[in-house]
Amino acid sequence: MKTTDDIKQNVRAKYAEIAQQDRADNAASCCGSGGCSTEVHNIMTDDYSKLEGHVAEADLGLGCGLPTQFAGIKPGDTVLDLGSGAGNDCFVARHETGPDGRVIGVDFTPEMIAKARANAQQLGYANVKFREGDIEQLPLSDAMVDVVVSNCVLNLVPDKKKAFTEILRVLKPGGHFSISDVVLQGELPDALQQAAEMYAGCVSGALQESDYLGIIHQLGFGEVTVQKRKAITVPDDILANFLNAGELAAFKASGTGIFSITISATKPEVKAAKEELKAACCGSGSACC
């Protein structure tokens, strides 16, 4: 069984390699990091090309959704992109927040940070900054962000609850997130769960959808909404790298579903949170009322 450090080192190494590849190579594989498929070209990626602010050089084809399309970013907002890669979602967010806003990208792969910074410098975007850091310990102060976005990244984080706790911490009261991620319905075969390539490819690190949404509710986020859902089919020629013929047939017959979902949720306002606490206290018959 791989440790948390093993997983992080594997993901960092894979995405350092991806940073040196072109988009065509990345988009032809499972979330940009698995083995190439001869069956389909894009397994997970959505088309960013029609979004305002899209920068082709920064789009490595690594995502599984379009979170910035649903993020409701307003002019002047401070936006945080988790797992910012070469800067794709940051530059789309920058178009929405405008020159008076601020966009921060966090990634723990130095090669991706270097690529993103070079792209921002070439574009002349002084209000887009990139920081090297771990999503489980974000290098940001409390309550400084209006909107958090992330695209097919949190499934790579070993401790999802800790990651969402950090999102809650850095959001301003009333702030919100829009996150695209991979989730499961049903159990993956052991061989896929243990495969490092499938983890870096966003599949074996995915949680059950009910567990994923459960973490968000448990931490106290409000207005939790699934904004978009699409089924993900991993081609047989990729699965065959990890499963024998019998295991592959059993997996396909199992009904296990792999999905990309885009989720939004809001950090409660301080006043609302206090009122909820008072209501719960009063309802218990306590003298606190």
116-149 pLDDT per residue, tens: 999 999 999 999 999 999 999 999 999 999 999 9
Q: Which CATH superfamily is domain 4-282 in?
A: Vaccinia Virus protein VP39 (3.40.50.150)
State the pLDDT confidence band at 68, using cuts at 50, 70 and 90.
very high
Residues whose CB falls within 8 Å of the CB of residue 273, separated by 6 or more in sequence, listed in order = 173, 220
State the pLDDT confidence band at 257, using cuts at 50, 70 and 90.
confident
Q: Which of the pair, 131 or 24, is modelled with greater confidence? A: 131
State mean pLDDT over 182-207: 72
Measure the CA angle with vertex 14, ends 12 and 19; round to 5°: 90
Q: Can you give the pLDDT at residue 198?
A: 58
Q: Can you give the pLDDT at residue 167?
A: 98
State mean pLDDT over 100-111: 96
β-sheet bridge partners, residue 257: 185
Domain ranges of the chain: 4-282
Its pTM surpasses 0.75: yes
Q: Is the pLDDT of residue 74 over 80?
A: yes
Beta strands 145-151 and 171-185: pairing type?
A: parallel
Q: Which of 33, 144, 147, 153 minimizes the C-alpha distance to 82? A: 153
State mean pLDDT over 60-74: 92
Q: Can you give the pLDDT at residue 10?
A: 75
Q: Can you give the pLDDT at residue 45?
A: 78
Question: What proportion of the chain, given as a percentage, has pLDDT over 70?
Answer: 81
Highest mean pLDDT among 19-23, 44-48, 76-80: 76-80
β-sheet bridge partners, residue 184: 208, 258
Q: Where are the alpha helices (DSSP H) in the chain?
A: 4-19, 23-27, 67-70, 88-97, 110-123, 160-170, 190-193, 196-200, 209-218, 236-239, 245-253, 270-283
State the pLDDT confidence band at 247, using cuts at 50, 70 and 90.
confident
Q: Is the dihedral of CA 162, 210, 45, 126 positive or negative?
A: negative
Q: Which of the pair, 139 or 186, is modelled with greater confidence? A: 139
Q: Where are the alpha helices (DSSP H) in 36-154?
A: 67-70, 88-97, 110-123
Q: Which of the pair, 129 or 20, is modelled with greater confidence? A: 129
